[in-house]
Structures are given as structure tokens and as C-alpha cells.
Amino acid sequence: MSPSLPLVSTAERRHRLGRRHRLAPSTRVATAAQAADAVVALHATDAATLFLSIRARLSAGGPEAIEQALYEDVGLVRLLSMRNTLFAVSRDLAPHVDSSTARAIAVKERRTLLKHLDEDGQGLDAAWLAQAESAALEALDRSGPCTGSQLSAAVPALRRKITIGRGKKYETQTGVATRVIRLLAADGRIRRDRPRGSWTSSQFRWVHTEPWPAVPPAEARAEIARRWLHAYGPATETDLRWWTGWTLTDVRKALAAVGPDQVRLDDGTTALVSPGDTTPEPAPEPWAALLPGLDPSGMGWADRGFHLDPAHRPALFDYAGNIGPTVWWNGEIVGGWAQRTDGQVVWRLLGSPGRAAEKAITAEADRLAAWVGGARITPRFRTPLERELVA
């Protein structure tokens, strides 16, 4: 490592996180799409996570503003993409996410379903699947937004059941509706519309839509890498590979197309930043944040040591490596939070950040409780500290 490389200290990495992830109050944004762009993509596996991640970055507006972006303006869309996980991205970025990542997932999903159909032995094949998909799209055109159950009621083919793993220990019978709907969504031919119930519900209706315009995959991956480096740099090749789920070859080609600069970190290792992005980042004003489980600020790197004490990891992550609701102070995770059944937002510090931090965290917890209102939040992936706080 060359000592002449620019140094980006841990403190400066936290400054960058506060500013670029739009968590410091003075950097908050006006729209949901801007909040997503700030971190490239927002986790959307858990419906509440998406709304709460945007809330933490919005300067104003309640859940209805996010619903408007998702279901009326469609400035924010959900795609099965990085790491085979559901993310929400801005409409402008969606074609790049689709070409860089989602297309390959859709191909694999189709291959897997066709294999299950063939092994089931009922004579269901690619032609049958194409007919079932066409019937589903026609039903959506006739009826408008439908839940999976409503779509199955309208399309007899979707009520078929198949046996997976016939004759094996894991043999199970399952309906094809969920799998066909998942495939149509992966192909970009349907998208999630307003759910039944509140903004915390994951029982979505579906609408017919047009696939995203094609972007050359290499060009799309370079654009994702460029945006990711700006939001998450300094970071490593390993971090980008973990975040995207791409092959190492694709990661290296994307980075080569971007041409990042190298910097030194406090621990003596090197990392990458966007070209020319080596000037010191001014510290934002002191800030506190209560972020939901799976928020990108906690999940954006394979190595999160610069903002998380490893000793706190067991309390804040589940067994599969999913981060739970976290409390932040000036770019560092200092605790966790939860919402009790009576609506109260409670939190616990895992260190001693000081009285100013506690005052700011209390104010942010009050802001969160007011924003959530009568809704109740239970993370899909529950962690030890969240469970303790609820109990």
C-alpha cells in the first residue's frame, strides 16, 4: 500500500454516510425516489421497512406521500434483483437494475419452474406456462388490480397444483399461482400495486405493466457500480460483490468501467471511491436516526466495522445475518429500537454516546412514533434486542 494514497478516516466515512444517505436533517430529501437514489436501492422484502427507510430520509410527508410515489406516480418500483432480494428503486434506475441483475434472476426462475412442471408428470410444459401467463395478464386487463387469490379465482390454470420432489423426503404439493405470479413479476410484466390493508401489509394487488427498456448488461452494471461507489465508498470489491450478488468477473468489469480511485483507511487497508472523490467530506450537524431492519445504511457493506462495534452484532442481527431496527448517532450504530403493541417506540443504547445523543435519540423516537401513528410495526426478521424490547 502506498502511503501517498489519500486517507479517508473512520470519522469521515461516518460523515459521508450521514450526508450521502440523507440521514442528517439538513440533507433530507423531498421525494421517495430521491431517498432511494441516495442509497441506490431500498430493501423492500418487508413492506414496513421500505416506508420507514424512506421516512428517515424525507424532509416532510407521511405514508400517503410514499404510497403516491409507489402506486400513482410510479416513481418508485419494486424489483426482484440484488442477491435475489426484493428492492425498491427509482423509475430512472429501474432499467439498469433490470438489465444488470433482474434479467438473470428471471431466466433462472423460469428454468426452475419448468423443471418442476416437467418432473410433476402432468404434461405441463413451456406452452402450458405461456398460456397460463397470457390468461393471467388478460384477467388483469379485464379486472384491474387483483390479489393473487383473486387472480387464481379468475384463471383456472392458476388453480393447478403440482408435486415437487415426488418420491423424495421433501415431497410437497403446491399451487402454481404464486410461482407464475412471481415469474411474471420477475419478467417485468406485472408489478405490485396497493396492498389490501395499510402500508404495512404485504398482501399486494398486481397490475399488468410493460417490461423495462433494454440496457446492455455491462453498461447497466457499470451504472449501478458508479452510483454504489458514490453512496457507499470507501468500499471494496468484496463489498460490491456482496451487495449485488454478481459474479466476481462482473464486479471487476463494472469497476474497471467506472475507474475508481484508491484510498487508505484507518486500519491500513485500501478501499475504492468514485473517480476524484477523495476530498475531505465536511461533517454534517449532529444527527440521530432510528432505522428499520434491513435498512441499506446498515446492510450496504460486507464489512460494517466502521459504523458497528462487532460486540453489538449478536443483539442486532438475526441468525441469517439480517440487521434489525437500529439506533444511530453521528454515523455509528449505538443501539436498537422496537415498537410495542400499545404503539410506544422504545429503544436501548449499547454504549454511552452521551447526553446530547440521548436527547436527540429521544426526539427522533418521538418523531417516528408520530409518523407511524396507529400502525404497528413487527419486523419480518426479528432480532434478540428487538424481541427483548417488545417483551
Tens of pLDDT, residue by residue over 65-83, are: 999 999 999 999 999 999 9
Residue 247 has pLDDT above 80, yes or no: yes
The whole-number pLDDT of residue 109 equals 94
Give the mean pLDDT of 353-382: 95
> What does pTM read for this prediction?
0.95
The whole-angstrom separation of Cα 217 and Cα 390 is: 45
Q: What CA–CA distance (Å, rounded) separates 60 from 24?
A: 14
Cβ(247)–Cβ(259) below 8 Å: no
DSSP-assigned states of every residue in 134-201: HHHHHHHHHH-SEEHHHHHHH-GGGG-EEEESTTSTT-EEEESHHHHHHHHHHTTSEEEEEESSSTT-
**Is residue 178 a contact partner of residue 171, using CB atoms and an 8 Å limit?**
no
Summarize the confidence of residues 368-386 as an average pLDDT.
95
DSSP string, 55-113: HTTBSS--HHHHHIIIIIS--EEEEE-GGG-EEEEETTTHHHHIIIIIHHHHHHHHHHH
* pLDDT, position 3: 67
Matching CATH number, 94-208, of 3.40.1350, 1.10.1740, 1.10.150, 1.10.10: 1.10.10
Helix axis angle for 103-120 and 177-186, nearest 10°, is 150
| Section 254-282 average pLDDT | 96
Structure confidence at residue 193 (pLDDT): 96
pLDDT higher than threshold 90 for residue 2: no
pLDDT score at 170: 81
The whole-chain average pLDDT of the chain stands at 95
Domain ranges of the chain: 94-208
Identify the pLDDT of residue 144: 95
Beta strands 172-175 and 161-164, pairing class = antiparallel
